[in-house]
Amino acid sequence: MKRGGDRNQRIYKTSVASVYKHYVDKAERKGRTKAEVDEAIRWLTGYSQEELEAHLEARTDFETFFADAPRPNPARALITGVICGVRIEEIEDPLMREIRYLDKLVDEIARGRPMEKVLRAAPAGAAA
- Position 65 scores a pLDDT of 98
- In sequence order, the 6+-apart residues with CB closer than 8 A to the CB of 41 are 47, 52, 102, 105
Does the pTM of the predicted model rise above 0.75?
yes
Q: What CATH homologous superfamily does 14-118 map to?
A: uncharacterized protein sp1917 domain (1.10.8.290)
Report how far residue 128's alpha carbon sits from residue 107's, in angstroms, rounded to the nearest whole number.
27
3 has pLDDT over 50 = no
Place 8 in a pLDDT band, splitting at 50, 70 and 90: confident
- In sequence order, the 6+-apart residues with CB closer than 8 A to the CB of 5 are none
The string of pLDDT tens digits covering residues 76-99 is: 999 999 988 899 999 999 999 999
Domain boundaries, the chain: 14-118
Mean pLDDT across the stretch 20-39?
A: 97
The string of pLDDT tens digits covering residues 96-111 is: 999 999 999 999 999 9
- Average predicted confidence (pLDDT) for the chain: 90
